[in-house]
Amino acid sequence: MVSQGALRLRKYRARLNQEKKQAERVADRIRKQTSRAQESPQKRQKRLSSVNTSKKRRLQHESPQQRLKRLSAHSASHKNRNKHQSPQQRRKRKSAKSTSMKRARMMESPQRRKERNSTNSSRNKARLRRESPQERHERILKVINDRKKRRKRKFPSDVDDFKAAIDYAIKQGKKKLHRTQHPDDPTLHRAYVCIVCNCFLQATEPLKTMTRDQLRAHQKRLGVHEYEQYHNVTLTAELKKQYHVKGFTNMLLSRQSQLIVSGKRKGWITCSHCRLALRAHLRFKANPPRYSIANGFVIGEFPRRIKRRTPSGREQCCDIDVEELPDKMQALLAPVRPYGYVFAYSGGSHKSIQGHYHFFETDQSQLGGGLNYVRDMGVPKDMYIMLCGRMTPEQKRIVRERVVMDTELYMDILQYFIEKSGHPGFSGLPLPKDFPQPLFFEDDEVDNNTDAPMSPDVEKTFEGGTYYYSTAQDPSPETCVYPDEKQFAIAMFNQSSPTLLAIGGDYARMKELRVEDVIPFAFPHGTGGPKVKRRTPISQEACFQLYMRLAMRQFMRGDVILVLGNCYSRIHTFRSGIMLCRSQVNGVQLGETLSQFKTSDIPTDGSTNETTDRLLNAINTTCRALGHSPEAAKFARKCFFAYIDHYGLNSLFLSITPDDLNCFRVRLIVRPAEFVSSTLFNLFLHLL
């Protein structure tokens, strides 16, 4: 019902001309704004509730024709208003609308979100059912034309002209290359690291950011308490400190990341995968993102300062640089050593000292028996180093100094691993009383084994070491990592992945070996290994890929990359394994033989019996070879010649080789928490 006063007001306005109507509307608007600015919060709340109630009541009683007329008039007025807006006003309006929509969706409950999604889905389905074939055809053509327009913006010239594509690629490459610049000083650069997963952002990956409030909304997914409760562990104060970022209490985040405060994107840097997993409507989930630190990747770093106990019983601080520790000491400190190590050094006149470190599988039981036999013969329990090969006297002295290890430093680090780190591999280990120093054996200096110093500056330089695995333990294309094809076939029948680390003898069970125990300096707290049970499941291959992208210096060492790469290769070759069967087995069709098999006929422990031997004799296994093996090179050449035969000779041939002088990006990666200057690097290139 409409009141008498409202009817009189309508009649009065109807008699006014257009100009008076507009003036009356403006006066009413000013009067309302003045009165609303002076009203109290209670009165404002009461007015809004009455307006909403009357609006809902009016909308409930309107007919479908009235509703359609109202919506069309509303849409037409909006289009007419937006048509005359400037580009700045249009961008501002779209940004405000997007912000309000995101804020509203962030605060809605899961039930409300489910209802909204179902309503939108039903509305879209109804719209698609109502449209005619001609409308559908026009809609598809519009989508195709929009895609073509976007492509033409990138490549405005002819498709056959490579210049436009090359120019566009160079432009995008420079933009990606210079996005790591400091906003105030363009000569300083800093690598982009995700705050959630502690991984480097790839050069072609889009830059995403998250504000502090957006990250805090997922505190239960990235929290310390939830991590400790699920994994049933108590993180040490030192480990919590390494993953604490100021402003985020009790959250596991990367301290290598940085806060962007200038430009269009403001907030903490995140990768695209973590940004997608931390959307606002997913804050009610209990599981963290797949590659996040809170998903079982709390690894930590070895501290730069540890406490040592003096002979008098007092504790004092000791500074340690892990990068300067000898490779021999790091190998000796490992609680489990499944490999044999050969540390070889070479040199000579006009040559720098180079190290060659070889890893090879050993039978620890036979090795221990051999050592016991040597000890029974009366040989002292010491380490022996044999120096051979052509070297200058100064190079031999440098090698001796590198081999001799600091006993006190060894004991201090071992004591930290046993008492302070919480590493499971060191739990219960006794602290040794002494550490033997190596004894040197070498021939007398003669012309055949000693070179005269010719370039002292070059000959005193140690260029570092190169790590190798013995090729005898590489997975073969026929048997993978197993001794023969039968065991490989049984493993594929049982769907049991191979062991990550190979070991001979009965020194330890293969499946009990942990990567964290073999390379303890990469996992100083014994956590974050590939076999850890995680809230969000992740495969072991994905774990090894993640280790190679972490912004942690211990995963940039040659020995760590060698071990983890070998573990990844063993799994990768096993996943590519296939079985080839003959059609008949001893004159009997293979189908009839398989129909008589039961699940219990195939042992789960890898052994064979008479029943399985009949089937395995008709099976041949094969798998993909490692990328660096001769078999893989042969397969690559085969594919290359096949492409040439099918498509013809190539018109472009690119050869990519690393540039040793271009070390700026290398320094940028190995120092993720620091700003690296490019001024000295550019000056060095100009001097060359």
| pLDDT, position 496 | 66
Q: Are 519 and 526 in contact (CB under 8 A)?
A: no
Q: Name the more confident of 459 and 209.
A: 209
Q: Return the pLDDT at 228.
A: 92
Q: Which residue has the higher pLDDT, 489 or 129?
A: 129
Residue-level pLDDT at 113: 82
* Domain contains 531: yes
User: 493-505 pLDDT, tens per residue?
Assistant: 766 666 555 433 3
Residues 381 and 454 occupy one common structural domain: yes
Q: What is the amino acid identity at position 586? A: N
CA distance 668 to 677: 9
pLDDT at 373: 42
Question: How many beta carbons lie within 10 A of that of residue 168, not counting itself?
Answer: 14
The closest of 275, 290, 293 to 209, measured between CA atoms, is 275
Judged by average pLDDT, the poorest of 15-19, 141-145, 288-292, 474-478 is: 15-19
| 340 in the same domain as 465 | yes
Q: Are residues 432 and 485 in the same domain?
A: no
Q: Identify the residue whose tokens are 């109507």.
A: 21
- Say if residue 372's pLDDT is above 50: no
What does the pLDDT read at residue 151?
66
pLDDT of residue 547: 93
Do the domain assignments include residue 26?
yes
* Helix or strand run (H / E) with residue 475: none
Same domain, 489 and 631: yes
Closest to 382 (Cα-Cα) out of 374, 391, 390: 374
What SS3 state is found at 346? strand
> Which of 433 and 352 is assigned the larger pLDDT?
352
Rounded Cα distance, 334 and 426, in Å? 9
Residue 109, domain member (yes or no): no
Distance of alpha carbon 439 from the chain centroid: 44
Q: Is residue 23 part of a domain?
A: yes
Binning pLDDT at 50, 70 and 90, where does residue 226 land? Answer: very high
433 and 516 assigned to the same domain = no
Tens of pLDDT, residues 391-446: 888 888 877 777 777 777 888 888 888 888 888 888 877 777 666 566 666 777 77
CB 342 within 8 A of CB 357: yes
pLDDT value at 687 more than 60: no
Of 71, 8, 85, 30, which is closest to residue 22 (Cα–Cα)?
30
Average pLDDT over residues 541-570: 87
Total number of domains constituting the chain = 3
What pTM was estimated for this model as a whole? 0.68
Rounded to whole angstroms, how far apart are CA atoms 615 and 591?
A: 11
Within a domain: 663: no
Q: What is the mean pLDDT of residues 179-204?
A: 87
**Residues ≥6 apart with Cβ < 8 Å to 515:** 500, 501, 523, 529, 530, 531, 563, 564, 567
> Are 509 and 601 in the same domain?
yes
Helix (H) or strand (E) holding 319: strand 315-319
| Residue 185, both tokens | 């000083």
Clarify whether residues 482 and 628 are in a common domain: yes
- Among residues 50, 71, 90, the one where a domain terminates is 50
Structure tokens at 180: 């790591």
What mean pLDDT is predicted for residues 466-475?
A: 64
The 3-state DSSP class for residue 327 equals helix
Q: Provide the percentage of residues in the chain whose pLDDT is more than 70.
A: 76
| pLDDT above 80 (res 195) | yes
| Same domain assignment for residues 508 and 568 | yes
User: Given a cut of 50, is residue 378 above it in pLDDT?
Assistant: no
Rounded Cα distance, 653 and 651, in Å:
7
Residue 495 and residue 461 share a domain: no
pLDDT classification of 458: cutoffs 50, 70, 90 = confident
Instruction: Please check whether residues 513 and 453 belong to one and the same domain.
Output: no
- Residues ≥6 apart with Cβ < 8 Å to 576: 623, 624
Give the position of tokens 């804020």: 103
Residue 125 belongs to some domain of the structure: no
The phi and psi torsions of 375 (rounded to 5 degrees) equal -70, -35
Name residue 161's amino acid: D
What integer pLDDT is reported at residue 523 of this predicted model?
Answer: 92
pLDDT tens-digit series, residues 284-326: 888 999 999 999 999 999 888 887 766 666 777 878 888 778 7
Q: 465 and 494: one domain?
A: no
Decide if pLDDT at 370 tops 50.
Answer: no
Q: Are residues 358 and 433 in the same domain?
A: yes
Percent of the chain with pLDDT over 90: 13
Which amino acid belongs to residue 389?
G
Is 468:358 a contact under the CB 8 Å cutoff?
yes
Q: Which domain holds residue 424?
A: 329-471
What does the pLDDT look like over 561-594, one tens digit per residue? 888 888 888 888 888 888 777 767 667 776 677 6
Among 358, 306, 311, 308, smallest CA distance to 331 is for: 358
Domain boundary among 445, 471, 497: 471
Residue at 155 is within a domain: no
Average model confidence (pLDDT) for the chain?
A: 77
Which of residues 452, 471, 490 is at a domain's end? 471
pLDDT tens-place string over residues 593-651:
767 777 676 666 656 666 677 777 777 777 877 777 788 888 888 988 898 888 888 77
SS (H, E, C) 547-612: HCCECCHHHHCHHHHHHHHHHHHHHHHHHCCEEEECCEECCEEHHHHHHCCCHHHCCCCCCCCHHH
Question: How does strand 259-260 pair with strand 315-319?
Answer: unpaired
Mean pLDDT of 452-476: 70
Please report the pLDDT score of residue 632 as a whole number.
82
Indicate whether 648 belongs to any domain: no
- Give 166's DSSP letter: H
Residues 6+ apart with CB under 8 A from 176: 203, 204
